[in-house]
Amino acid sequence: MKTFFYLTRLLCLALALAWTPGALASTVFWGSLFGDNLYSSSGQPLDASYSFEVGTFNAGFTPTYQNVNQWDANWHVIALAYSPDSNGWNAPAQFFDGTVNFNGTNNSDATGADPTYAFTQGDTAYLWAYNSKTIVPSSEWALVTYGASAGNTGDPWIVPNLGDAGSYNWNLGDANNAIIGGANSVQYKTRLKSAAGSPGGVVV
């Protein structure tokens, strides 16, 4: 089954230490499947202007549609994928992916990560897709995550045991919680509205 992934148009203006080969590390493989259906709020396939980040928010901060203007200030990038394909995002094939190694001091070695930021085991990881992090009428965002649920055997999107040598998969096809935008046709919400009352875009 193909994954459907939608982004929401934001109309509300107000609104490592490097990993050492051979050292003990947890590895996360993340991304979408080749040929997944990745769409903007207008139903167009995502193009090369989009980027994809996995990351966590500061302790105590819960992302909502009402506090989107605070997301970036509270966000910590685990890994980043962007066009062209060599950087993890193949727009023509509608496919993005990446690999993260967490070392024993809780740092990520992936592209885009702050090599000095120590991630916390058990924190929820999110996928943030966007064409711009500036909140203007042309911005399109999606923020999704996955928590374990009955019948779904995928790895929960949480920062793993950073001191082991295990491997984990954070697959877009498992996402079951959309903060903005959406993923997978089994999830539905009503259309979002901006503060001005205009449609905020499609959801899951």
The predicted pLDDT at position 52 comes to 96
Mean pLDDT over all residues of the chain?
79
Paired tokens of 61 = 């901060």
The predicted pLDDT at position 37 comes to 81
Per DSSP (E only), the strands in the chain are 4-6, 8-9, 25-31, 37-39, 51-57, 75-82, 89-90, 95-103, 126-130, 140-145, 167-171, 177-180, 182-183, 192-193, 199-201
What's the angle, vertex CA 180, arms to CA 177 and CA 182, rounded to 5?
55
Contact assessment for residue 36 and residue 94, using Cβ atoms and an 8 Å cutoff: yes
The whole domain housing 149 covers 4-201
**Residue spans of the chain under pLDDT 50:** 1, 11-22, 186-204
The predicted pLDDT at position 164 comes to 81
The predicted pLDDT at position 15 comes to 30
The predicted pLDDT at position 184 comes to 66
**Into how many domains does the chain fold?**
1
Count the residues in the chain.
204
